[in-house]
Amino acid sequence: MSHIEKYGFSDSDMPFIKDHIRIAMGLNPNGKKTFNNELDAVKDSKGISLPVVAKVDGPCERCIKEHCECMEVGKYETEMYIRNDDSIISNKEAINCGYHIPECDFGALVDKIEFMPVVNLLKDEKTPVYATVAPAIIGQFGDNVSMGKLRTALKQLGFEDVIEVALFADILTMKEAFEFNQLVKNEEDFFLTSCCCPIWFNMVKKSYPEIYKYMSPSVSPMIASGRILKELYKGAKVVFIAPCIAKKAEIKDPDLVGAIDFVLNFRELKEIFDVLEIDLEGLQGDEKDQGSLGGRLYARTGGVSFSVKTVVNRLEPSRVIKLKPNKVNGVKECKEVLEDLKNGKKMNANFIEGMGCVGGCVGGPRTNIDKDKATKYVNDFGEDSYILTPFDNLNAMKILELFGINSIEEIIENEKMNRILTRE
């Protein structure tokens, strides 16, 4: 009995099934029933191409939803996103955020996978490959799997080392604290942050240009991690591990390209561990404190505000204009606060933090556990750090010293570091 007969597929299902296989290989769907040179293309692949989210023909024709989440997010990701009167998503340009994928019950929208290029990279013994991991990773692979055990597992896969992105979030926190102090001088001033979220950033930049000038010019902690590691370790490659599909598109932004080589999400990494039968709980943990409480809390809504406020309070304890945050999450809330700012509505806040996913990164489209459970893990992981604030992170200070920075006041004055931490 063939697999087609065994699983009850019809001949008309084959293009859909094979397109999903193509996407899993990092290739574009083409709607063909037969494979041609896909294996050769994967062997020669240097990474996925934009768009990172592909639309597979067929399922949308059966969709009876009156409104898809992807419509709301999509208009901030591309100007070419179209949904026609027949409720069929246009394949001219798929959206790259990935926020909408879990909402699609028919599997019409899928993110491409960069597994094979990462494997080829790890097989190259001459090239050191570093993994940088998003703060939301804690708890995603089991109740008893610590950050140290994940570090051990990733080293077994061939990574040179594993570094918490919370460390680089701490460095950016100090930069944003100085920016806040410089830009917010009276009750009418305000400052937008959370450059770590591509959905929020693109929403502001593309749809609210009059507000964009109030956005921090900082790159995301992900981009900072790649740029700094590549400065410290010449010839190194960096793979970022996160719950976010939008990060796959962010690394291909012309202003940011080259900082991060590949992105794996939590579900993809779990599949790798499962296939290789790696017993995460049974590993010896390589435990390190690299990020502060504040840096680790970047993973959930309000974490950025908390972190920046701790540094602002340390820099200017007697500051007259205190940092008053407004923390919004989910596309609807983000849009509402931006409309209010656009219309000049007065709000009791001067530091606006936006996260595209509900709950923040812990609510991302490629997490392995419920966001409420993930939030608890993140809070506990943050409180477990011996480093209270970014201000106290000696790991961050050691990195800054390597760039000739001997005090945090110099972080926005040092030309090289400022170039690394700032968007074009």
Model pLDDT for residues 228-238, shown as the tens digit of each residue: 999 999 999 99
Contact criterion met (CB below 8 Å) for 32 and 224: no
For the cut 50, the answer to whether the pLDDT of residue 71 exceeds it is no
Q: Which two tokens stand for residue 189?
A: 């001033």
Task: For residue range 280-290, list pLDDT tens digits in order.
Answer: 999 999 999 99
In the block, which residue shows the tokens 């296989």? 21
Tokens describing residue 199: 């959905």
Can you list the domains of the chain with their CATH numbers?
3-112 (no CATH), 113-424 (3.40.950.10)
- Cβ-in-10-Å burial (0-12, 13-18, 19+) of 40 comes to exposed
Q: Is the pLDDT of residue 322 over 50?
A: yes
**Among 41-45, 135-139, 240-244, where is mean pLDDT lowest?**
41-45
N- to C-terminal Cα separation, the chain: 58
In the predicted structure, residue 146 carries a pLDDT above the cut 60: yes
- What's the confidence (pLDDT) of residue 370? 95
Asked if residues 184 and 321 have their Cβ atoms less than 8 Å apart, the reply is yes
